[in-house]
Amino acid sequence: MLTPIDIVPVQNTLGEGIVWDGRRAWWTDIQEKRLFRYDPAKRALETFDLPERLGSFGLTEGDERIVTAFESGFAFYQPHDGALAWIARPPHDAAKVRFNDGRVDRQGRFWAGSMVEGGGAPSGKLYRLDADGRYEICVTKVAISNSLCFSPDGHVLYFADTPRRQIWRYRLDPVSGALSERSVFAETPPGAFPDGANVDSEGCVWSAHWGAGQIVRYDPRGRIERTIALPVTQPTCVAFGGDKLDHLFVTTARENLDKAAIKQQPLAGALFVFAVGVAGLPEPRFRPRPGTA
C-alpha cells in the first residue's frame, strides 16, 4: 500500500469532482451541498455552502467563477458570495435524475453527465456545454455517468456508465466536439465500479474504483500499469496537483456505509494525497464567449 503524504479527514458523505487550480484543490460533497477548497502548502481548508447538490464543476478562464453542473442544470457560481447565474437547465426525462460527473476538455468546453438515483430505467445523458452557453446531448440511456476525462491531445474522450463496469473510449472531434468510434477501453472486475478518472502527461488513465478501494492506472491501450490500494472502499475521483503536478488527490465517500463498515474504515470520506512520481496535466478551463450568462 502506497503511504499517503497527506490525509484531510473531512468525512465527506460523497466527496467528488476534484480539480486543481494551480495552488489549491477544490471538490464537492454532493449530498451535503458543500464545496471544499484545500491549500496543501498551508494545510488550510475552506468550505462553501451551495444552493443545490453539485455533481461536478470546472474552472473558468479569466474568471473567479466556476462552471457547474448542479443537480438541475448548468450555471456559473461564485463561491465567495454565492452569486449564481444559470446557463441552461436541460429537462430530465424522468424523476430522480440529477447531474453527476463532469470535466472541461482541452478545447475549453464543459462536459457533464446525468444519472438515475434509486434505480429505474437508464435515462441519464452525457451533455457538452459549448462556449456560447448552448448544450448538446452526446450520449443517451445512461444509468450513472462517470469517468469523464480526455487524452493529452484532446482527441479522445473517456466515459463510463458505472453499473456496466466498462470505461469507453470515444474519438472526439476537437473542433466540433462530436463523438464517434466508441470502443471498450477497459473493463473492471465484479465489485469494482469505475468512478471518477483523470489522464496524466503520458496519456495514462487513472480510475477510481468504487467498491474495490483502489486507484488503477491504465496505459493508453487499456492495460493495468499499477494499482494504489486505499484504506477505504469507496474512492470517487482523482486530480493531479502540487508544484510539479505529481501528487494525486483522491476524494472518497462514506455514503451507504453502516456503523460497522465505518468502524473498519474510519477514514472513509477523507481526502487522500499520494506522491505518484508521474506528472499530470494542468486543469483545462472553460472558455465562455462574452455574454454567456
Q: Catalogue the active-site residues.
A: 195
Single out the residue of 20, 111, 37 nearest to residue 79, CA to CA: 37
Are the C-beta atoms of residues 36 and 10 closer than 8 Å to each other?
A: yes
Per-position DSSP letters for 229-288, written without gaps between them: E-SSS-EEEEEEESTTS-EEEEEEB-TT--HHHHHH-TTTT-EEEEE-SS---PPPEE-P
Q: And the C-alpha cell for 190?
A: 465484479
Are the C-beta atoms of residues 217 and 226 closer than 8 Å to each other?
A: yes
Are the C-beta atoms of residues 293 and 87 closer than 8 Å to each other?
A: yes
Single out the residue of 160, 175, 55, 158 nearest to residue 108, CA to CA: 175
Q: And the C-alpha cell for 97?
A: 435524475
Single out the residue of 186, 183, 191, 225 nearest to residue 209, CA to CA: 191
Phi-psi map region of 184: left, alpha, beta (phi>0 left; psi -120 to 50 alpha): beta
Single out the residue of 34, 41, 127 nearest to residue 88, CA to CA: 127
Could you give the C-alpha distances from 189 to 72, 162, 209, 223, in angstroms and in order? 32, 12, 10, 13
